[in-house]
Amino acid sequence: MAEIVLETKGLTKYYGAKPALDHLDLRVPRGCICGFLGRNGAGKTTAIKLMLGLLTPTAGSATLLGCDSTALTPAIRQRIGYVTEGHRLLRWMSIGRLEEFQRAFFPKQWDGRLFAEMIEYFELSRRQKIKHLSNGQRAQVSLALALAPNPELLVMDDPTLGLDAAIRRQFLEGMIELIMRQGRTVLFSSHILADVERVADRIVVIDKGVLRADCPLEQFRMSVRKVVVHFENSAPADVELAGLLHFRRSERQLELTLVGVGDAEVADWAARAGAERFDFVEMNLEDQFIEFTAPPHRRRLFQWEKA
C-alpha cells in the first residue's frame, strides 16, 4: 500500500450559509499524478487552499506529508511546490531577483542549473521584469520557480488556464520529468481533459463541493459508459437500472449513460427489457466528465428539433 502524501477527512468549508466544500474525504498516494477535476466553482481552489493552510476549515481536517494543514511547519513547506492560480508573481521584480528571492527559501535543494536551462529554453532573460511578461511567459517563470526546488509534492492550481498549446505541453513535460524522480507526487487541477488524460494516473472529481470520484484514471474511463439499446418495436419510456446517469429515447432506441455497471448487468437488463441487441459506445474523457457531472434529468441548452 503506497504511502499517502495528501489526505483530507471530512474537510468542510462554509462561506456564510453556503458550503464551498462538503465533507471531502480524499487520499492521494505517493508517486502519482493526480488530476483534480470539477466544473467552475466546484470547490477545487478552495480545497487546494485548505490543503496548503491558506484557509482554515469549518470542519474536518487536511494532512499534507503527515502534517496538519493548519500547522504546516517551514520544513514541510520546503518540500512542497505550489503554483498559484493565475501565476501571480511579484510584479516589480526581475526574473533574476525573483530567483534569488525564491532560492532563499530552499537553500540546500535549489537546482540553479535547471532554472537557468528552463529560462533559456523559454527564451527569457534574467533582467526582464515580471510586469513586462505576457501571461504565458509568467506561467513559464512560475513553472521554473516551482520545479527548481525539486519538490516532493507539487500542487498546481489550474496551471494552464488561458495558455497556448505549446506552453501547456511544457507544463505537462515538467510534470512528467518530475514524476520520474523517486517518490514525487503531483496534484493539479485542470479543465483541459485531454491534458489530464495524458499525464494523470489518478483523478478526483469534485462537483458542487462534494467528492464524486477518487480513483485511478483507468477505472473512471472504464466505469462511465454509453450503451445504445435497440428494440424491435417500441423502446420503453422509462428505465430502471442502478448506475444510470441519463438516458435518451428515440422510437426504437434507448441511449443509456451508465456508471459502474458491468457488461453482465447490462446484458441482464437488456434481456429483461426485451431488447433486440445493444452496443457499447466509446466516449472520450471529456464526454465522460460532462455526462458524469451533468445534473440528472437535464435538458439540452438548445433545442434544435421539436420532440
Question: For other proteins, what does the binding mask look like between residues 81 and 100, x meaning CB under 8 A?
Answer: -x-xxx-xxxxxx---x--x
Least gap, CB of 172 to other proteins (angstroms): 5
Q: 88 vs 248, which CB is nearer to other proteins?
A: 88
What does the DSSP assignment read for 35-99? EEEE-TTSSHHHHHHHHTTSS--SEEEEEETTEEGGG--HHHHTTEEEE-GGG---TTSBHHHHH
Residue 1 is a binding residue for other proteins (CB under 8 A): no
Residues 132-191 that bind other proteins (CB under 8 A): 169, 172-173, 176-177, 179-180
If binding means CB under 8 A, how many residues of this protein chain bind other proteins?
50
Rounded to whole angstroms, the Cα distance separating 281 from 290 reads 15
Residue 272 is a binding residue for other proteins (CB under 8 A): no
Rounded to whole angstroms, the Cα distance separating 46 from 51 reads 9
Q: 220 vs 247, which CB is nearer to other proteins?
A: 220
Residue 258 is a binding residue for other proteins (CB under 8 A): no
Least gap, CB of 141 to other proteins (angstroms): 12
Which residue among 111, 201, 207, 214 contacts other proteins (CB under 8 A)? 201
Least gap, CB of 297 to other proteins (angstroms): 26
What does the binding site for other proteins look like in residue numbers (CB under 8 A)? 33, 49, 52, 54-56, 74-75, 77-78, 80, 82, 84-86, 88-93, 97, 100-101, 104-107, 169, 172-173, 176-177, 179-180, 193-195, 197-201, 218, 221, 282-286
